[in-house]
Structure 1
Amino acid sequence: MFCSQCGTPLAEDAVYCSECGAPTRNLRDLEKGGSSRQEQTPEACRESVKDKFSGGIKSGVIIAAVTAGIAVLILLLYTFLLKPQTPQDTVRKLEKAVSGLDTDGMLACFDKDLQDKYREEMHLEATGVLSLAGSLGIGPDVAFKVTDTHYDEDKGCTVLIDYKISFMGNEDSGSATLHMVKKGKDWLIDSGDTGQFLEDWV
């Protein structure tokens, strides 16, 4: 359809010319009651376009927010559930467990054989002075520092650490060698010279 005034091509359902604003035959049909189409003024056309544009922006913002949320969720899952641990992570866990007098946390750093070996001694110790100190929130000052890591060919590694522990007026420091094995995504202590710092707790 074309405008009868200026000849501009128009949509078949246009009521006014988008160029000169002249009414089209559709308006005349509406005025005569010969059409059920709703009146569409130039202002109504502009508002319709504006609504569609703002609606598109809102949809884009929602999609971006959902995408960002999914990305954060995937990152958290990877960090806490899927990311492989390192021997240094195990040393940090052990340091935290010793500092908090957390015998279960200490045991979790060892493989099953050593857990069985140390469990009874650690829990007996935890029922005495350590239990009382832990309940009062009194824990030792602990510092473990990994100085070297050597990886074996059989999914194992040797970790050299320097340690310093101060607790209830006693202080101990030195070096220790820990041998670890990879179990699933975790590195667990399975043997080695645990050193005096572990003998004090297990």
Structure 2
Amino acid sequence: MIFKECLEKRFSCRDFIDYELSEDELIKIVELAKLSPSATNMQPAKLSFFSGNALIKLSDDLFFALNNGLKSQDVKLYPNTWFEPYKSRRFETGLRLYEALGIKRDDKQKRLEQWHKNYKFFNAKNLAILHIDKGLSEGSLLDAGIFLANFLNAATSLGYDTCVLGSVAEYCDTIRANGVDGIIICAIAIGKKSDDVVNNFRTTRAKNEEIIKFIKEIK
């Protein structure tokens, strides 16, 4: 698979079949992601993989934390106050996702049930927690982000599907209580997609003029 095809094929999978990757399969993905650049070759990104009973326990513990308001976030993913164009992009994504699922805007129960699927990892049988050691600075978060992007694309190139779960990382103390050390960044569900209609949903991308600025002369 060429790089362009890999980027176009990757998407956020929100329903997985009953398929558990072996340790060897996961290592093959990591071996490609390890080729990512990092500042002074620090390579700060770390992955803790959950499966089997450990995955079930983590899910149960996260639901307990969710239901009891036990939030503990290491890396803040969103601004305190949403502003444009980010507010509209976020709203559009949520609106189109629920429309694709046939969930009406006023159906709070169905929307809540869909949100809770984040904490069941969309039925994936493998989950990775991306983290870095405590004591590292913000620059290492950038390195971890580069590693994350390459991990996702590496998984796609090898025939697997993924979904980054920022929602899970809102309960970092719960994750640490399940054996993960350091600064928690996000979770990644890994597996193979199902035929559920939700996996037909795709997000849009910003126009070039919204994100590109050419600077050719400074007066």
TM-score (norm 1): 0.20
The structure with more strand, counted as a fraction of residues: 1
> Quick check: which has more Rg, 1 or 2?
1
TM-score (norm 2): 0.19
